[in-house]
Structure 1
Amino acid sequence: MALDEDMALLARQPLLSLMDRDALRLLAFAAESRILRAGDVLFRAGEPSDGAVLVVSGAVALTMQDDGKPASEIVGPGALIGELALFTSVPRQVTAIAREPTQVMRLPRSVMRRVLGESPDSAEAIAAAIGDRLRGFVGELSAVQEALSAIDRK
């Protein structure tokens, strides 16, 4: 895939779209493209993460357990799996298995850190967006806590 096409795919991601063009170019250049066959495992729940995976084509099943039950979710082109792993090491929350021939773009955390280190404006924009997300999440948790407290008072 051409570098401009890879950049366009990355720019469709809300968080990555905040990066300036040069930072996106570096990220796209360093991304690792992989072709998977149906049934290939990208990663398993509980494994340490080292970055995110962008689905370019095909479909990936995401499941919480490896028990043979149907997938919790099927994602297709444009899905970014493991976005948080771009910034911090967290255990994988799901097992990801290709459902059909699938192309993915692996985005290593080490590359993201290097790119953001060279692009302070991009790093600041992403940090602000993550801060907004966290504030929203805390607000949602507060609303849930209030609802639970109201139930307990009854």
Structure 2
Amino acid sequence: MALDDDMALLARQPLLSLMERDALRLLAFAAESRILRAGDVLFRAGEPSDGAFLVVSGAVALTAQDDGQPASEIAGPGAMIGELALFTSVPRQVTAIAREPTQIMRLPRSVMRRVLGESPDSADAIAQAIGDRLRGFVEELVSVRAALGAIDRK
């Protein structure tokens, strides 16, 4: 794939779309492309994370259980898997297995840190967006707490 095509794929991601063009170019240049065969395991639940994956083509089954149950989610073209791992180390919450021949783009956290370190405006925009997401999450938790409190009072 051409660098411009990779940049366009990355720019479709809500957080990454906030990055300046030069920063996005650096991220796209450093991204690692990989082809998976059907049944290949990308990662398993509980493994440490070191970055995110973007599905370029194909499909990846995501499941929290390794018990043969159907996948809880299917990530298709354009889906970002493990976005939080771009910014911090967290154990993988699911097992990711290619359902068919699949091309992925690996985005290492070390590269993201380097790119954001060289692009403070991009870093600020992403930090603001993550802060907005966290505030929204807290508001949802407050609503749930209030609803549960109302149930308990009945």
Which band: TM-score by shorter chain? over 0.9
Does structure 1 residue 90 correspond to structure 2 residue 87?
Answer: no
Distance in 1, Cα, partners of 2:137 & 2:68:
32
Secondary structure of the residue aligned to 1:85 is helix
Q: Specify the alignment match of 2:73 in structure 1.
A: 73
Distance in 1, Cα, partners of 2:33 & 2:74:
20
- Moved segments of 4+, more than 2 Å: none
Secondary structure of the residue aligned to 2:88 is coil
How far residue 75 of structure 1 moved from its aligned partner, in angstroms, is 1.2
Does structure 1 residue 151 correspond to structure 2 residue 145?
Answer: no
The one-letter code of the counterpart of 1:111 is V
With normalisation by structure 1, the TM-score equals: 1.00
The one-letter code of the counterpart of 1:127 is A
Q: What are the equivalent positions in structure 2 for 1:2-151 lying under 5 Å apart?
A: 2-151=2-151
Distance in 1, Cα, partners of 2:84 & 2:124:
16
Secondary structure of the residue aligned to 1:104 is strand
Q: Deviations over 1:100-148 (max 9, x none)?
A: 0000000000000000000000000000000000000000000000000
Distance in 2, Cα, partners of 1:146 & 1:88:
31
Distance in 1, Cα, partners of 2:85 & 2:51:
5
Secondary structure of the residue aligned to 2:133 is helix
Task: Quote the RMSD (CA, aligned, Å).
Answer: 0.3
How far residue 151 of structure 1 moved from its aligned partner, in angstroms, is 0.4
Q: Deviations over 1:46-96 (max 9, x none)?
A: 000000000000000000011111000111000000000000000000000
With normalisation by structure 2, the TM-score equals: 1.00
Secondary structure of the residue aligned to 2:48 is coil
Aligned-pair identity (%): 90
Distance in 2, Cα, partners of 1:66 & 1:28:
32
Gaps in structure 2 of 5+ consecutive residues: none
